[in-house]
């Protein structure tokens, strides 16, 4: 049924068609309160049967954020929004940035829904924070690889590095061997029992390069004379006083016995230095041949030269037959042996 014109709400809305108000009740409308917020006010129908019954309590409903002054939307009898003028719905939608409070399917929806133009013009702008999609950004130019980086990226780089490391190690070892320490193999039995044939020793090539001089008792490696014969004719029972002036490319290992300026002779295989026989030689093999073990004639060792004898005095080809050796022919001092294992040690 339709309400009398004077009992309608200020917006001029009506309940949905075919809806009957409850018996003895009055229609309820929503009006804006002071400050622009809608309030629930009772007018028209009352929930009680008589006209002087107490009106229903007021209930304020806050409009959407940012709403301005204007008439609030009215509610229907069963909690659904009732039709309202287009101007009111548009104002509310523009202020709140949303559509009308009327749900879809309610009467007047098509006429009261704000247009997209109104929404876009009234709604506040929202900045987009969506991250860029991969591939949208400009691709950076390729990084230019250095020569070392390109080499490391090569598939055969590890093999080349191993070979280069081995080669470098060999070069360093050869450099050290040529300048500092050099290994030698004992070729004969002339130094028995101290050094055996095949035994390997290490020689300090710097031992006499910085002002040091060989001392009596040192075991040294040197170049022998190019001719293993005395430079002067001497009797068989006389030590050779002078060797030839050139050396061979071979290497000999002997013990230093006579120093420059010493007066030397041989008695029972032991050297007699400046009239004193050196009998304290625990490292020698005693001499048994009287021809090589007895040389009573005394000689003077030239300045800058050294007299070499083998520890195996009866079986050693040494300075007794081809003379003393200049300092410049001496390679270095034997300071250690590393093979065989049971003879590893230092001198």
The catalytic site residues sit at 190, 254
CB–CB of 314/293 below 8 Å?
Answer: yes
Largest CA distance in the chain: 169
Specify whether the backbone of 186 is left (phi greater than 0), alpha (psi in -120 to 50) or beta.
beta
185 closest CA partner among 111, 114, 251: 251
Residue 89 burial (CB < 10 Å; 0-12/13-18/19+)? buried
Please give the structure tokens belonging to residue 278.
């050196």
- Residues 275 and 270: their CA atoms lie apart, in Å, by 12
CA–CA gap between residue 33 and residue 72 (Å, rounded): 9
DSSP 139: P
Could you count the other beta carbons within 10 Å of the beta carbon of residue 280?
7
What does the alpha-carbon distance between residue 259 and residue 182 come to, in Å, rounded to a whole number?
A: 25
CB 195 within 8 A of CB 201: yes
Nearest-CA neighbor of 82 among 57, 100, 58? 100
Among residues 311, 309, 293, the alpha carbon closest in space to that of 301 is found at: 309
């Amino acid at each position: 049924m339709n309400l009398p014109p004077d009992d309608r709400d200020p917006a001029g809305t009506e309940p949905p068609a075919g809806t009957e108000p409850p018996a003895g009740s009055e229609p309820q409308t929503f009006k804006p309160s002071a400050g622009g917020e809608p309030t629930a006010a009772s007018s028209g129908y009352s929930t009680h049967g008589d006209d002087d019954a107490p009106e229903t309590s007021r209930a304020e409903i806050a409009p959407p954020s940012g709403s301005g002054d204007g008439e609030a939307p009215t509610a229907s009898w069963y909690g659904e929004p009732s039709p309202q003028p287009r101007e009111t719905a548009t104002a509310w939608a523009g202020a709140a940035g949303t559509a009308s409070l009327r749900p879809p399917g309610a009467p007047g929806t098509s006429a009261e829904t704000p247009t997209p133009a109104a929404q876009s013009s009234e709604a506040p702008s929202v900045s987009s924070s969506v991250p860029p999609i991969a591939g949208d950004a400009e691709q950076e130019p390729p990084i230019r690889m250095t020569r070392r980086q390109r080499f490391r990226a090569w598939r055969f780089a590890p093999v080349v590095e191993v070979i280069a490391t081995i080669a470098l190690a060999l070069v360093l070892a050869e450099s050290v061997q040529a300048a500092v320490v050099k290994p030698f193999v004992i070729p004969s039995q002339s130094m028995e029992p101290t050094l055996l044939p095949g035994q390997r020793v290490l020689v300090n090539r710097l031992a006499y390069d910085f002002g040091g001089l060989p001392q009596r008792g040192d075991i040294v490696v040197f170049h022998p004379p190019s001719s293993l014969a005395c430079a002067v004719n001497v009797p068989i029972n006389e030590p050779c006083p002078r060797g030839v002036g050139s050396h061979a490319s071979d290497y000999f290992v002997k013990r230093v016995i006579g120093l420059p300026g010493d007066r030397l002779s041989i008695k029972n295989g032991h050297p007699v230095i400046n009239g004193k026989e050196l009998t304290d030689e625990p490292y020698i093999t005693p001499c048994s041949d009287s021809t090589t073990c007895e040389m009573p004639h005394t000689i003077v060792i030239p300045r800058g030269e050294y007299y070499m004898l083998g520890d195996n005095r009866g079986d050693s080809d040494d300075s007794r037959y081809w003379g003393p050796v200049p300092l410049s022919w001496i390679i270095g001092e034997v300071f250690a042996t590393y093979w065989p294992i049971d003879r590893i040690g230092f001198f």
